[in-house]
Chain A
Protein backbone atom coordinates (compact mmCIF):
# COMPACT_ATOMS: atom_id res chain seq x y z
CA UNK A 1 0.00 0.00 0.00
CA UNK A 2 2.99 2.21 0.10
CA UNK A 3 4.99 2.28 -3.06
CA UNK A 4 7.75 4.82 -2.48
CA UNK A 5 11.17 5.52 -3.94
CA UNK A 6 14.30 7.24 -2.68
CA UNK A 7 14.94 10.60 -4.36
CA UNK A 8 17.39 13.44 -3.93
CA UNK A 9 16.07 16.99 -3.43
CA UNK A 10 17.55 19.33 -6.03
CA UNK A 11 15.67 22.56 -5.35
CA UNK A 12 12.91 23.94 -3.11
CA UNK A 13 10.13 26.39 -3.99
CA UNK A 14 7.76 27.09 -1.11
CA UNK A 15 5.88 23.92 -0.29
CA UNK A 16 7.11 22.19 -3.42
CA UNK A 17 10.51 20.82 -4.30
CA UNK A 18 12.16 19.18 -7.28
CA UNK A 19 13.71 15.79 -6.65
CA UNK A 20 15.46 13.22 -8.79
CA UNK A 21 15.89 9.48 -8.87
CA UNK A 22 18.81 8.89 -11.15
CA UNK A 23 17.76 10.58 -14.33
CA UNK A 24 14.09 11.05 -13.50
CA UNK A 25 13.13 14.40 -12.08
CA UNK A 26 9.77 15.60 -10.83
CA UNK A 27 8.05 18.08 -8.59
CA UNK A 28 7.10 16.79 -5.16
CA UNK A 29 5.12 18.10 -2.20
CA UNK A 30 7.04 18.67 1.03
CA UNK A 31 4.21 19.46 3.43
CA UNK A 32 5.08 16.33 5.41
CA UNK A 33 8.76 17.30 5.71
CA UNK A 34 8.88 21.03 6.36
CA UNK A 35 12.57 20.97 7.37
CA UNK A 36 13.84 19.36 4.17
CA UNK A 37 16.99 20.82 2.59
CA UNK A 38 18.46 20.76 -0.89
CA UNK A 39 20.72 17.73 -1.17
CA UNK A 40 18.68 15.61 1.25
CA UNK A 41 17.67 12.10 0.30
CA UNK A 42 13.99 11.51 0.92
CA UNK A 43 11.43 8.74 0.40
CA UNK A 44 8.73 9.84 -2.04
CA UNK A 45 5.23 8.33 -2.02
CA UNK A 46 2.44 9.52 -4.33
CA UNK A 47 4.39 12.66 -5.15
CA UNK A 48 5.16 13.64 -1.54
CA UNK A 49 8.34 13.34 0.50
CA UNK A 50 7.28 11.35 3.56
CA UNK A 51 10.59 11.01 5.41
CA UNK A 52 14.31 11.59 5.24
CA UNK A 53 16.47 8.71 4.19
CA UNK A 54 19.32 8.32 6.67
CA UNK A 55 22.41 7.60 4.58
CA UNK A 56 24.40 6.35 7.54
CA UNK A 57 21.70 3.87 8.49
CA UNK A 58 21.49 2.78 4.87
CA UNK A 59 25.21 2.07 4.75
CA UNK A 60 25.06 0.17 8.03
CA UNK A 61 22.14 -1.88 6.78
CA UNK A 62 24.01 -2.78 3.61
CA UNK A 63 27.04 -3.79 5.67
CA UNK A 64 24.75 -5.95 7.79
CA UNK A 65 23.39 -7.64 4.67
CA UNK A 66 26.88 -8.30 3.38
CA UNK A 67 27.86 -9.66 6.78
CA UNK A 68 25.06 -12.16 6.51
CA UNK A 69 26.69 -13.51 3.39
CA UNK A 70 29.67 -14.59 5.42
CA UNK A 71 30.10 -17.85 7.28
CA UNK A 72 28.59 -17.52 10.71
CA UNK A 73 28.15 -19.48 13.90
CA UNK A 74 25.51 -21.99 14.92
CA UNK A 75 23.06 -19.41 16.12
CA UNK A 76 22.90 -17.77 12.74
CA UNK A 77 24.65 -14.64 13.87
CA UNK A 78 27.74 -13.20 12.18
CA UNK A 79 30.95 -14.42 13.82
Chain B
Protein backbone atom coordinates (compact mmCIF):
# COMPACT_ATOMS: atom_id res chain seq x y z
CA UNK B 1 0.00 0.00 0.00
CA UNK B 2 1.34 3.43 -0.86
CA UNK B 3 -1.07 5.36 1.38
CA UNK B 4 -1.45 7.93 -1.40
CA UNK B 5 -3.36 6.76 -4.44
CA UNK B 6 -5.84 4.81 -2.37
CA UNK B 7 -6.91 8.12 -0.87
CA UNK B 8 -7.79 9.48 -4.30
CA UNK B 9 -10.05 6.68 -5.51
CA UNK B 10 -12.65 8.17 -7.86
CA UNK B 11 -15.54 5.90 -6.89
CA UNK B 12 -15.15 6.63 -3.19
CA UNK B 13 -14.91 10.32 -4.04
CA UNK B 14 -18.19 10.14 -5.90
CA UNK B 15 -19.95 8.59 -2.93
CA UNK B 16 -18.61 11.22 -0.57
CA UNK B 17 -19.59 14.06 -2.86
CA UNK B 18 -23.11 12.71 -2.98
CA UNK B 19 -23.19 12.53 0.80
CA UNK B 20 -21.95 16.14 0.99
CA UNK B 21 -24.80 17.21 -1.25
CA UNK B 22 -27.36 15.33 0.87
CA UNK B 23 -26.06 16.87 4.09
CA UNK B 24 -25.82 20.34 2.58
CA UNK B 25 -29.48 20.17 1.59
CA UNK B 26 -30.27 20.10 5.30
CA UNK B 27 -28.51 23.33 6.20
CA UNK B 28 -28.40 26.88 4.93
CA UNK B 29 -25.35 28.62 3.56
CA UNK B 30 -22.22 27.44 5.34
CA UNK B 31 -18.67 28.73 5.16
CA UNK B 32 -15.82 26.47 6.18
CA UNK B 33 -12.28 27.72 6.50
CA UNK B 34 -9.38 25.54 5.47
CA UNK B 35 -6.71 27.03 7.68
CA UNK B 36 -3.72 25.32 6.14
CA UNK B 37 -2.20 26.39 2.85
CA UNK B 38 -1.49 22.81 1.91
CA UNK B 39 -5.22 22.14 2.21
CA UNK B 40 -5.82 25.11 -0.10
CA UNK B 41 -3.41 23.66 -2.66
CA UNK B 42 -4.99 20.25 -2.45
CA UNK B 43 -8.52 21.60 -2.82
CA UNK B 44 -7.46 23.41 -5.95
CA UNK B 45 -5.28 20.61 -7.30
CA UNK B 46 -8.18 18.15 -7.22
CA UNK B 47 -10.77 20.67 -8.37
CA UNK B 48 -12.83 20.02 -5.25
CA UNK B 49 -14.49 23.41 -5.06
CA UNK B 50 -16.56 22.80 -8.18
CA UNK B 51 -17.81 19.51 -6.80
CA UNK B 52 -19.33 21.11 -3.70
CA UNK B 53 -22.96 22.25 -3.54
CA UNK B 54 -23.50 25.99 -4.02
CA UNK B 55 -24.32 26.61 -0.34
CA UNK B 56 -21.01 25.22 0.89
CA UNK B 57 -18.20 27.76 0.60
CA UNK B 58 -14.55 27.06 1.30
CA UNK B 59 -12.50 29.99 2.52
CA UNK B 60 -8.70 29.97 2.62
CA UNK B 61 -7.15 30.96 5.91
CA UNK B 62 -3.75 32.30 6.95
CA UNK B 63 -1.95 28.97 7.18
CA UNK B 64 0.58 29.84 4.54
CA UNK B 65 3.79 30.68 6.37
CA UNK B 66 5.31 32.51 3.43
CA UNK B 67 2.16 34.61 2.95
CA UNK B 68 2.04 35.79 6.54
CA UNK B 69 5.74 36.56 6.82
CA UNK B 70 6.07 40.33 6.63
CA UNK B 71 8.38 42.24 4.28
CA UNK B 72 10.80 43.01 7.13
CA UNK B 73 11.86 39.37 7.26
CA UNK B 74 12.46 39.16 3.50
CA UNK B 75 14.37 42.44 3.59
CA UNK B 76 16.63 41.13 6.35
CA UNK B 77 17.19 37.89 4.42
CA UNK B 78 18.14 39.90 1.33
CA UNK B 79 20.51 42.07 3.36
CA UNK B 80 22.24 38.96 4.76
CA UNK B 81 22.45 37.38 1.31
CA UNK B 82 24.31 40.46 0.08
CA UNK B 83 27.11 39.96 2.59
CA UNK B 84 30.01 38.34 0.83
CA UNK B 85 30.80 35.53 3.23
CA UNK B 86 27.19 34.53 3.88
CA UNK B 87 25.26 31.71 2.27
CA UNK B 88 21.48 31.92 2.60
CA UNK B 89 19.75 28.53 2.53
CA UNK B 90 16.00 28.44 2.15
CA UNK B 91 13.01 26.31 1.32
CA UNK B 92 12.01 26.78 -2.32
CA UNK B 93 8.78 28.49 -1.28
CA UNK B 94 10.66 31.68 -0.34
CA UNK B 95 12.62 32.23 -3.53
CA UNK B 96 10.11 34.33 -5.44
CA UNK B 97 8.53 36.21 -2.55
CA UNK B 98 8.95 39.95 -3.08
CA UNK B 99 10.40 42.02 -0.29
CA UNK B 100 10.38 45.81 -0.24
CA UNK B 101 12.61 46.06 -3.31
CA UNK B 102 14.04 42.68 -4.16
CA UNK B 103 13.61 38.93 -3.78
CA UNK B 104 15.99 36.05 -3.12
CA UNK B 105 15.79 34.85 -6.70
CA UNK B 106 16.84 38.28 -7.92
CA UNK B 107 19.67 38.42 -5.40
CA UNK B 108 20.82 35.03 -6.65
CA UNK B 109 20.78 36.41 -10.19
CA UNK B 110 23.02 39.23 -9.03
CA UNK B 111 25.56 36.81 -7.61
CA UNK B 112 24.52 36.30 -3.99
CA UNK B 113 24.92 32.78 -2.71
CA UNK B 114 21.32 31.68 -2.19
CA UNK B 115 20.59 27.95 -2.16
CA UNK B 116 17.30 26.08 -2.21
CA UNK B 117 17.11 23.09 0.11
CA UNK B 118 14.39 20.59 0.84
CA UNK B 119 15.39 20.05 4.48
CA UNK B 120 17.18 21.93 7.28
CA UNK B 121 19.62 19.01 7.37
CA UNK B 122 20.80 19.93 3.89
CA UNK B 123 21.45 23.48 5.10
CA UNK B 124 23.47 22.01 7.95
CA UNK B 125 25.46 19.96 5.45
CA UNK B 126 26.20 23.12 3.47
CA UNK B 127 27.56 24.67 6.66
CA UNK B 128 29.81 21.67 7.27
CA UNK B 129 31.10 21.83 3.68
CA UNK B 130 31.83 25.59 3.89
CA UNK B 131 33.47 26.12 7.28
CA UNK B 132 34.74 29.62 6.45
CA UNK B 133 31.32 30.96 5.53
CA UNK B 134 28.24 31.68 7.61
CA UNK B 135 25.18 29.70 6.57
CA UNK B 136 21.86 31.29 7.49
CA UNK B 137 18.75 29.15 7.14
CA UNK B 138 15.47 31.02 6.72
CA UNK B 139 13.30 29.45 9.38
CA UNK B 140 9.81 29.93 7.98
CA UNK B 141 7.01 27.55 8.94
CA UNK B 142 4.46 26.53 11.53
CA UNK B 143 4.40 23.84 14.20
CA UNK B 144 5.05 21.11 11.67
CA UNK B 145 8.28 22.63 10.42
CA UNK B 146 9.55 24.34 13.56
CA UNK B 147 10.74 21.06 15.17
CA UNK B 148 12.77 20.28 12.02
CA UNK B 149 14.40 23.69 12.37
CA UNK B 150 14.95 23.10 16.08
CA UNK B 151 16.46 19.67 15.45
CA UNK B 152 18.99 21.19 13.05
CA UNK B 153 19.96 23.83 15.62
CA UNK B 154 20.40 21.20 18.34
CA UNK B 155 22.49 19.05 16.04
CA UNK B 156 24.59 22.07 15.06
CA UNK B 157 25.29 22.75 18.72
CA UNK B 158 26.00 19.12 19.56
CA UNK B 159 28.40 18.67 16.65
CA UNK B 160 30.00 22.14 16.93
CA UNK B 161 28.88 23.46 13.57
CA UNK B 162 29.44 27.08 14.59
CA UNK B 163 28.79 28.60 11.19
CA UNK B 164 25.14 27.46 11.04
CA UNK B 165 22.39 29.81 12.19
CA UNK B 166 18.69 30.32 11.68
CA UNK B 167 16.73 33.51 11.02
CA UNK B 168 13.55 32.48 12.73
CA UNK B 169 10.13 33.46 11.44
CA UNK B 170 8.33 30.35 12.71
CA UNK B 171 4.77 30.97 13.86
CA UNK B 172 2.03 29.23 15.83
CA UNK B 173 -1.35 28.57 14.30
CA UNK B 174 -3.84 28.65 17.21
CA UNK B 175 -3.28 32.37 17.97
CA UNK B 176 -4.15 33.13 14.34
CA UNK B 177 -7.30 31.06 14.56
CA UNK B 178 -8.24 32.92 17.73
CA UNK B 179 -7.69 36.24 15.98
CA UNK B 180 -9.91 35.13 13.10
CA UNK B 181 -12.73 33.99 15.32
CA UNK B 182 -12.64 37.29 17.21
CA UNK B 183 -13.10 39.34 14.05
CA UNK B 184 -16.66 40.67 13.78
CA UNK B 185 -16.82 40.50 10.00
CA UNK B 186 -15.96 36.83 9.92
CA UNK B 187 -18.68 34.21 9.79
CA UNK B 188 -17.15 30.74 9.89
CA UNK B 189 -19.28 27.66 10.48
CA UNK B 190 -16.43 25.24 10.76
CA UNK B 191 -12.66 24.85 10.58
CA UNK B 192 -10.85 22.25 8.54
CA UNK B 193 -7.89 22.05 10.90
CA UNK B 194 -4.30 21.56 9.70
CA UNK B 195 -3.49 17.86 9.65
CA UNK B 196 0.26 18.00 10.09
CA UNK B 197 0.38 20.83 12.62
CA UNK B 198 -1.94 18.59 14.64
CA UNK B 199 0.47 15.69 14.28
CA UNK B 200 2.84 17.70 16.44
CA UNK B 201 0.44 19.64 18.68
CA UNK B 202 -2.46 17.21 19.07
CA UNK B 203 -6.01 18.50 19.22
CA UNK B 204 -6.02 20.37 22.53
CA UNK B 205 -5.06 23.74 20.95
CA UNK B 206 -8.36 23.81 19.02
CA UNK B 207 -10.66 22.95 21.93
CA UNK B 208 -11.37 26.60 22.74
CA UNK B 209 -12.85 27.15 19.28
CA UNK B 210 -15.53 24.50 19.82
CA UNK B 211 -16.01 25.06 23.54
CA UNK B 212 -15.98 28.88 23.73
CA UNK B 213 -17.03 29.88 20.23
CA UNK B 214 -19.25 26.99 19.17
CA UNK B 215 -17.31 26.39 15.94
CA UNK B 216 -17.03 22.78 14.72
CA UNK B 217 -13.48 21.63 14.04
CA UNK B 218 -12.27 18.61 12.06
CA UNK B 219 -8.60 17.71 11.73
CA UNK B 220 -8.24 16.48 8.17
CA UNK B 221 -5.56 14.93 5.99
CA UNK B 222 -4.47 16.20 2.60
CA UNK B 223 -5.51 13.69 0.00
CA UNK B 224 -8.72 14.31 -1.95
CA UNK B 225 -10.70 11.79 0.04
CA UNK B 226 -9.34 13.16 3.31
CA UNK B 227 -10.57 16.63 2.50
CA UNK B 228 -13.96 15.36 1.38
CA UNK B 229 -14.25 13.38 4.58
CA UNK B 230 -13.37 16.47 6.57
CA UNK B 231 -16.16 18.39 4.86
CA UNK B 232 -18.62 15.55 5.49
CA UNK B 233 -17.79 15.56 9.18
CA UNK B 234 -18.08 19.35 9.43
CA UNK B 235 -21.49 19.22 7.74
CA UNK B 236 -22.57 16.45 10.09
CA UNK B 237 -21.68 18.63 13.07
CA UNK B 238 -23.58 21.55 11.59
CA UNK B 239 -26.67 19.47 10.84
CA UNK B 240 -26.58 17.87 14.29
CA UNK B 241 -25.88 21.22 15.93
CA UNK B 242 -22.70 19.94 17.55
CA UNK B 243 -19.44 21.82 18.05
CA UNK B 244 -16.57 19.47 18.77
CA UNK B 245 -12.99 18.84 17.75
CA UNK B 246 -12.94 15.62 15.74
CA UNK B 247 -10.05 13.83 14.07
CA UNK B 248 -10.65 12.60 10.53
CA UNK B 249 -6.93 12.07 9.85
CA UNK B 250 -6.71 9.17 12.25
CA UNK B 251 -3.87 7.37 10.56
CA UNK B 252 -1.39 9.99 11.80
CA UNK B 253 -3.10 12.34 14.24
CA UNK B 254 -3.77 11.46 17.86
CA UNK B 255 -5.12 13.82 20.51
CA UNK B 256 -1.77 13.93 22.29
CA UNK B 257 0.31 14.78 19.23
CA UNK B 258 4.06 14.13 19.17
CA UNK B 259 5.70 14.79 22.57
CA UNK B 260 9.26 14.33 21.26
CA UNK B 261 8.66 17.02 18.67
CA UNK B 262 7.22 19.36 21.27
CA UNK B 263 10.25 18.74 23.48
CA UNK B 264 12.48 19.94 20.66
CA UNK B 265 10.33 23.06 20.35
CA UNK B 266 10.64 23.67 24.09
CA UNK B 267 14.40 23.19 24.06
CA UNK B 268 15.05 25.59 21.20
CA UNK B 269 12.29 28.19 21.02
CA UNK B 270 10.24 30.45 23.20
CA UNK B 271 6.99 32.14 22.24
CA UNK B 272 7.11 35.82 21.37
CA UNK B 273 4.87 38.44 19.90
CA UNK B 274 4.98 38.22 16.13
CA UNK B 275 3.83 40.28 13.18
CA UNK B 276 1.54 38.51 10.71
CA UNK B 277 0.98 40.13 7.36
CA UNK B 278 -2.69 40.99 7.28
CA UNK B 279 -3.36 40.21 10.94
CA UNK B 280 -0.98 42.57 12.63
CA UNK B 281 0.92 41.73 15.80
CA UNK B 282 -0.46 38.67 17.57
CA UNK B 283 0.77 38.05 21.12
CA UNK B 284 2.83 34.92 21.74
CA UNK B 285 2.29 33.76 18.19
CA UNK B 286 5.88 33.50 16.99
CA UNK B 287 8.84 31.37 17.92
CA UNK B 288 12.15 32.98 18.65
CA UNK B 289 15.37 31.17 19.45
CA UNK B 290 16.24 30.95 23.15
CA UNK B 291 19.09 33.16 24.42
CA UNK B 292 21.26 30.16 25.33
CA UNK B 293 21.28 29.19 21.64
CA UNK B 294 22.19 32.69 20.50
CA UNK B 295 25.20 31.39 18.63
CA UNK B 296 22.79 29.79 16.18
CA UNK B 297 20.41 32.74 15.96
CA UNK B 298 20.98 34.76 12.80
CA UNK B 299 19.00 37.59 14.34
CA UNK B 300 22.21 38.57 16.14
CA UNK B 301 23.94 39.69 12.94
CA UNK B 302 24.08 43.46 12.58
CA UNK B 303 23.20 44.34 9.05
CA UNK B 304 21.75 47.35 7.23
CA UNK B 305 18.20 46.58 6.29
CA UNK B 306 16.30 48.91 3.99
CA UNK B 307 13.20 50.60 5.42
CA UNK B 308 10.20 48.37 4.90
CA UNK B 309 7.79 49.28 2.12
CA UNK B 310 4.50 47.47 1.84
CA UNK B 311 2.80 47.53 -1.55
CA UNK B 312 -0.10 49.92 -1.99
CA UNK B 313 -3.43 48.43 -3.01
CA UNK B 314 -2.45 44.93 -1.97
CA UNK B 315 -5.34 43.09 -0.32
CA UNK B 316 -3.28 40.19 1.04
CA UNK B 317 -4.35 41.09 4.54
CA UNK B 318 -8.05 40.75 3.81
CA UNK B 319 -7.48 37.65 1.70
CA UNK B 320 -5.68 36.02 4.60
CA UNK B 321 -8.48 36.90 6.99
CA UNK B 322 -10.92 35.32 4.60
CA UNK B 323 -12.80 38.60 4.19
CA UNK B 324 -11.95 38.84 0.51
CA UNK B 325 -11.37 36.21 -2.13
CA UNK B 326 -8.55 36.75 -4.63
CA UNK B 327 -11.19 37.71 -7.18
CA UNK B 328 -12.30 40.57 -4.93
CA UNK B 329 -8.86 42.15 -4.96
CA UNK B 330 -8.55 44.93 -7.52
CA UNK B 331 -4.99 43.94 -8.34
CA UNK B 332 -5.63 40.22 -8.92
CA UNK B 333 -4.88 39.12 -12.45
CA UNK B 334 -4.26 42.66 -13.65
CA UNK B 335 -1.35 44.18 -11.77
CA UNK B 336 -0.66 41.16 -9.57
CA UNK B 337 0.10 37.89 -11.35
CA UNK B 338 2.55 35.04 -10.66
CA UNK B 339 4.98 36.71 -13.09
CA UNK B 340 4.73 40.05 -11.32
CA UNK B 341 3.52 39.33 -7.83
CA UNK B 342 2.61 42.26 -5.62
CA UNK B 343 1.97 40.41 -2.39
CA UNK B 344 3.16 37.09 -1.09
CA UNK B 345 -0.28 35.50 -1.52
CA UNK B 346 0.38 35.45 -5.26
CA UNK B 347 3.98 34.42 -5.19
CA UNK B 348 3.93 31.65 -2.65
CA UNK B 349 3.34 28.31 -4.33
CA UNK B 350 0.39 27.75 -2.04
CA UNK B 351 -0.73 31.29 -1.55
CA UNK B 352 -4.47 31.67 -1.96
CA UNK B 353 -4.07 33.96 -4.95
CA UNK B 354 -1.47 31.80 -6.67
CA UNK B 355 -3.67 28.76 -6.28
CA UNK B 356 -6.70 30.67 -7.58
CA UNK B 357 -4.66 31.90 -10.55
CA UNK B 358 -3.25 28.49 -11.41
CA UNK B 359 -6.24 26.35 -10.80
CA UNK B 360 -9.37 28.35 -10.51
CA UNK B 361 -9.06 31.55 -12.47
CA UNK B 362 -11.42 30.97 -15.31
CA UNK B 363 -13.49 28.29 -13.72
CA UNK B 364 -14.90 30.47 -10.95
A contact residues vs B (CB 8 Å cutoff): 1-6, 15, 21-22, 27-29, 31-34, 41, 43, 45-48, 50-55, 57-58, 60-62, 64-66, 68-70, 72, 76
Contact = CB atoms under 8 A, between A and B. Distances in A.
Contact of A22 (B2, B91, B251): B2
B121 A76 contact: no
A65 B17 CA distance: 11
A50 B251 contact: no
Contact of B250 (A2, A21, A57): A57
A68 B250 contact: no
Given A46-B91, A66-B12, A72-B19, A4 B3 contact: no
B203 to A, nearest CB: 14
Contacts of B195: 2
9 contacts: A2-B196, A5-B4, A31-B264, A32-B148, A45-B145, A46-B148, A61-B229, A76-B19, A76-B22
Contact of A2 (B22, B36, B154, B232): B36
Contact of B199 (A27, A51, A60): A51
B36 A69 contact: no
B252 A54 contact: yes
A76 B9 CA distance: 20
A2 B145 contact: yes
B4, B15, B36, B253: residue with the most chain A Cβ atoms closer than 10 Å: B15
B156 to A, nearest CB: 12
A55 B210 CA distance: 29
Contacts of A33: 258, 260
| CB-based closest 5 A-B pairs | A47-B119, A69-B15, A2-B196, A6-B3, A31-B151
B39 to A, nearest CB: 9
A28 B15 CA distance: 37
A33 to B, nearest CB: 7
B119 A2 contact: no
B163 interface: no
Nearest to B65: A1
Contacts of A32: 147-148, 151, 200, 258, 260-261, 264
A70 B145 CA distance: 38
B352 interface: no
A55 B1 contact: yes
B155 interface: yes
A46 B251 contact: no
B148 A47 contact: yes
Nearest to A73: B22
B155 A31 contact: yes
A55 B78 CA distance: 44
